[in-house]
Each structure stands twice: as C-alpha cells, then as structure tokens.
Amino acid sequence: MDVLLDTFLNWEYIWEVFPDLLGTGLLNTLIFAVSSALIGTLLGMVLAVMGLSAKRWLRWPARVYTDIFRGLPAILTILLIGQGLGVLARDIVGNNPYPLGILALSLIAAAYIGEIFRSGIQSVEKGQLEASRALGMGYGRAMLLVVIPQGVRRVLPALVNQFIALIKDSSLVYFLGLLSSQRDLFRIGQDLAANTGNLSPLVAAGVFYLVITIPLTHLVNFIDKRLRQGRKIDRRDEDELDLVAGGKVGA
C-alpha cells in the first residue's frame, strides 16, 4: 500500500509540478481548446449549411471532409498536419508547432461540430421554415433568423460535450514537440514523471483536467434539463406562428 501511495500520491512531486501546471499547463490547454473550439464552430457551421444544400457541388465536399476527419484517428491527423504542413508552412510559423496544433484540432472539431449543427437544424420542424416564408421572409433570412437559432439551441449539450472532448484531445499536441513555455497539462506532468520515475505528476495533471471537465459535464446536464422544460413553451410559440402564417395565407 505504501508503494502504491508513493507511486501515485507523492506529495513532494505533486507540489513540485503544481506551479507549472497552474501557470503554464492550464493556460496552454485552455488556449488550445478555446481557440480550436471557436475556429471549429465557425467551420462547422459552414459545413452544416453546405451539407444541407440542395446543390451537389456544395453538399459533396462537406460530406467528404466530414467523413475523412471523423474517420481518421485524432493523433494521426495532428501528426499529418503538424509535421506535413510544418514543412510547407515553415516560412510562416517557423519551427513553432503551436499554431499547427491549433489548426489540426480545429479541423477535427469542425467535422464533429458540423454534424452536430446539421442534426440540430434538421430537427427543426419544416413548418417553421414554411411559416417564415409565408410571412414574407426569404430563404436565407428565414434560415438565419428562425431555423438555425432553434437548431443551435437544441444541440447546446452536444456542443459542450464536444468542447470537453477538445480539452482532452489537446493533450495529443504533445506529439508535435512543444517548447517549454508551450507545454500543456499532460506534457508538464509527463516530463516530470519521466525524470523522476514517479506517476504523481501525471495524477496531478489528471486532477486539473477533472477540475475543468466535471463542471462542464454538470453544465451539460443543466442545459439539457432547461431545454427539456422549455420545449413546451416552444411548441406554443410554433402553434402561434403557424396560426399567424395560416391567417396571412388565407387573407
């Protein structure tokens, strides 16, 4: 038992790694996750709209992109982009793997977020679009102001879950060889664990991940509960919109 505690809960090593985890690792992990989430969300919305288009030249590229980036292991995508594009983009990023890591995570996230958005938009009743068109809105305006906001709202829990996955996947950027000041939580814990032969620094890094992800998990449950409660009100609004549209068409 003492050996186990010393291997996983050696407080000397935990306190030694704590300042680096808090000052460097946490910041870089959040930068990787938040940056890739923002870029991935923008690209994902574009992919969702393209995937729902009636035009094949828009729909097929979105489908191919999604199939490729969802089908490849995340670590393989990160290595291909980080090492492959690193050679091509050396004049822009130099030997800095940081932006390439963010790019790789963003492209992976976009494929998943695009599918989340697409399913959310498709879940909105067709009558919403038809009623909006009957009220004089164009297709683009009806999608932007009526359909897409409702679709996004319905998939908020899935989007937060995807952000949690990004936080954990950010540890894979470690394989690109980050500089000391660019290390994420996992890399800092791994470095000290390798130097000491003790796993306590990795346990400390794991605690930091849990501090971030557990509140987000509860946030998902809270949002999902609120959305379930709000659907009754949404149905009333939909009925009112249908009645207004029906009255205008009848006039």
- Counting the structural domains of the chain, the total is 1
**Range(s) of the domain holding residue 237:** 2-250
Kindly list the distances between the CA atom of residue 157 and the CA atoms of 35, 49, 117, 164, 249, in Å, as whole numbers in the listed order: 19, 20, 12, 11, 37
Long-range (24+ apart) CB contacts under 8 A made by 134-140 are 134/245, 134/246, 134/248, 134/249, 135/244, 135/245, 135/248
- Closest to 130 in 3D by CA, of 147, 151, 148: 147
Query: Do 159 and 116 contact (CB within 8 A), yes or no?
Result: yes
Could you write out the three-class secondary structure of 20-79? HHHHHHHHHHHHHHHHHHHHHHHHHHHHHHHHHCCCHHHHHHHHHHHHHHHHCCHHHHHH
Cα torsion angle, 164, 165, 167, 168, sign: positive
Instruction: Give the predicted TM-score (pTM) of the model.
Output: 0.83
According to the model, what pLDDT value does residue 251 have?
Answer: 45
Rounded-to-integer distance, Cα 242 and Cα 152, Å: 21
Rounded distance, CA 154 to CA 160, Å?
Answer: 12
Question: Residue 230 and residue 70: Cα distance in Å, rounded?
Answer: 32
* pLDDT values of the chain reduced to their tens digit, one per residue, 251 residues: 778 888 888 899 999 999 999 999 999 999 999 999 999 999 999 999 999 888 899 999 999 999 999 999 999 999 998 887 766 766 666 667 888 899 999 999 999 999 999 999 998 888 887 788 787 888 778 888 888 888 888 898 899 999 999 999 999 998 888 888 889 999 999 999 999 999 999 999 999 999 999 999 888 888 878 877 765 555 555 555 455 555 544 44
Question: Which pLDDT value is given to residue 172?
Answer: 92
CA–CA distance from 200 to each of 17, 21, 92, 127, 208 (Å)?
9, 13, 38, 57, 13
Say which CATH number the domain at 166 has.
Answer: 1.10.3720.10
Q: CA–CA separation, 115 vs 32, rounded Å?
A: 21
- Residue 249: predicted pLDDT: 43
Given the structure tokens 């346990």, which residue do they identify? 203
Q: What is d(CA 78, CA 166) in angstroms, rounded to the nearest whole number?
A: 13
